[in-house]
Structure 1
């Protein structure tokens, strides 16, 4: 059992430093947990931003491709209608059978309708063109033009042959060069011009008025082109049912792309906003046309890069909102706002934070356990050291007392020896006769001798303090030991008028003892 000094050293020395160490560990691990949690949040936010940026880039590229595809398709349809309009102008309107040929062109080329209009926009009946047609003649108010422009089939050819020229060479034949099919002198829309036939411009073609231009237009689900006519003074408008073009635009348009993206897993909402922050397209149809008033969106427009933040929706869900300017042909036209759900990443974040917390708690437990063990061992070592120091000091004090006792015993033993010798001579040489009180004399000398023995025993005890006793155990008869003790105590008992009665029937009983004084 530890001594009081050991217990005092252990609790007094260990606990203050141990508590300070534990508090330091808690502070350090708490700071580590906080820093690691914030780093994790930054990593998750960066992950959301990168994902949102990638989705916005995909949406931007897909939108550009969709718009380009729609423009190419519209260009192809417009080119086909222009070919039909020019065919009608140069061959059908010049033919004596204009009405019949016009009907066949509409039917076989699957056109919605063809309109021949005067400069005021009034319809011109094909029969009127037939009445005014003939060699070297044009429609009402038209200038003279050659009956057969070079590089084109003559009006007398079969309509199928003429339509075959318009639509392309027959299968297996050598493709005609593009410039061979270009009409002379007709200005094309958006700055392009319809070039001349190979070999130079055809002579005799009248020039168009300066304000005459080719136009494209939409009329409901019909798409059409209008050109100034060469065969008569007026306009030829060719219409085609463009429902498939509208369906194509709807299938690959920006709204469809946004709706498809909005149905992706983890995407809460997608919206396209214009410069005024008005919603042009959205995965939520109810939001289209709504104007947003948000300083964050304006800052994102000014920044020109992906900006992100966390916000709560009206239904209480938390989303990560990423906003990036939307560009077409390297020109910013609006903003794309993408809301990503945070449920999956929130689960990952909670799991990672639990891992960080458990890791920190484990480190704390191990650190506290190690600190307790270290301080306990240190306190034990210090307590043992203090015990040894106390024992050494006690031994030093005992040694000093022993040295003093040895000196005192030496000084006392000399007169005691003289007294003991004198008493022995008095008992033997100077004892009185029985008549003079011999018994009383002997009794007193015996008492004096016994007291001298007691003083000698005290001296021996002082000497024992001076040198540590070493036990030398031997087996001695118990009866003999008790008899010696009784003999030593008999004088004291007699002095106290105590009568000692003994009955030492112990047989051969023995006791282990050291007989040395």
Structure 2
């Protein structure tokens, strides 16, 4: 207070004005930043929405094409059958009428080679006499009548005399005189059905949603289909924005005017089977964004007036701080809401209501959980998931949210999938759970890569240790070998010569065995550079089979091979041969007489698959994650390096190796090698 009494009023006013200007300037910057971020969020939301609309439009067009193709196939099948009957015997109008009635065909007409109708399932009424024809049969049938084609899908056409439209096909008569058989369907039901499910109905339904000002599909000729409130739109030819959107495959946005209101317009081409069908235009309401900007502007004005009026720097700071907090909270709410929707759409999403009945089961959930959506929606979650997905059902029924609950299940293909489940709950006014939504992430590939990386780091560390130990042992081992050779050649004992010779032989043999182990250590620690060449994999497997078949035959094990003819790889022949022989040797040691070993290769997309299977004793589940560890072995005289070296060779080829085993049933090793290596 003492300090305040010594400050002159003009300084207080100056400080107040400066602080007010600073705060106002800061608020304006924050307003502009918020506007930019809100515009970005609106762009993201609009882009996702128009992408979904474009996909729905493509699906609708393809569905209509598929329905029309099925109609044509059905009519053509009936037409060919009638052509055979026509060639075998003389048909009557009565017979044609009975066939048409039995097969829901509106009309069957038979024409001679001049295009003159000679027989019909329908007798023209008197009231039709003298009425002008809209077209003549020759207008459509000329290619069939002249023999240019044997069958023709005429498609939709106006009825010749009566009102309405027909869907027609024609086939060539098999009589010597030629001619054509024409089958017609009344297209009224087909057109009504297409109208109910067509793209126009889709756009009208979408246009009725809150927040959508208009939606239209437009080409250079004009509007193809649009929401109910669209009377006219700007032409593509005179609009630079529309021309750019038409030439691009990406989403374009702008702020435009529609019916006297500002809208956020999004444009994207509709492409079906490589052909552009038109341009989607979507206008979203900007009321919420404009209202927010107006509220922020009003608060800013009020804040400025209050700051100038009272001249209190502290009050100025508090008011601006409150204003910024309000804007920040509103922004965070909108960002969180939009981000949550966009994020969840990429994952499997399952929702149940208060009766524990599934109400949402998206496409990702159907693929990930291997449960068709039509078998899930409308049924209790415990019935849909059962024992296989019991953890998911339990998570959905929990009274509190679940976060990243991990579970595993065996897929229909036999592999194990790792899933992470998170749930969010909504509550009614009484605080009871109204619905629960589970977001499921597939962690299988992530866990596999983590395990592979952990194994690679472990093998690298053990390899470096082996290299150091091997170098330390090699020199004294060489000395021992030289001494053993000298003992054998230069010294002869006076007694027990045979025993002396046996001991020196054993010493030399053991030195050689240890030397071989050291060489394996060094080979693992410093693997040789790949000598890559283009190899026909089937030929390589035949050579390996020739080397191995004798060992299998000697043990009484049946050895089988199978391969696809077109399977070439860019690999190191010698090292890949060693890797496959290591797997075959392990299989032979695990397979009893009378068992079976198979070696096969196949192409799968851009990869080659090499498979080694046996019917041996299998590997216990607790050992599967250890078998590729360096020095791990269950054999009395094994070194524990064979599978580690095999895995190293496969990884040098940018491939992977997987093992599946069941105790008592056998083991399968699967090597996957890219057909085209990176950088090659």
More helix by share: 1
TM-score, length-normalised on structure 1?
0.48
TM-score, length-normalised on structure 2?
0.37
Structure having greater relative contact order (Cα 8 Å, sep ≥ 6): 1
Higher CA-based Rg: 1
